[in-house]
Amino acid sequence: MQNQRPDRIRKLLADLVAFDTISDRSNLPLIDYIERYLASLGVSGQRIVDDTGQKSSLWVTVGPEDRAGLVLSGHTDVVPVAGQDWSHNPFELVERDGRLYGRGTTDMKGFVAVCLAMVPEMLTADLKTPINLAISYDEEIGCVGVRPMLRDVARKPIRPLGCFVGERPGCR
Residues making contact with Zn ion (CB under 5 A):
107-108, 167, 171
Q: State the nearest-atom distance from the C-beta of 66 to Zn ion, in Å.
A: 32
In contact, 130 and 69? CB cutoff 8 Å:
yes
Report the run of H or E that residue 121 belongs to, with start and end: helix 119-124
Q: Is the dihedral of CA 78, 166, 30, 14 positive or negative?
A: positive
Which candidate in 85, 139, 152, 167 is catalytic? 139
Instruction: Report which DSSP code applies to 77.
Output: -
Residue 139 catalytic? yes
Which neighbouring-strand residues pair with 46? 59
Which is nearer to Zn ion, 107 or 138 (by Cβ)? 107
Which residue's Cβ lies closest to Zn ion? 107
Least distance in angstroms from the C-beta of 67 to Zn ion: 30
CB of 42 to Zn ion, least distance (A): 30
Q: Could you give the residue numbers annotated as active site?
A: 77, 139
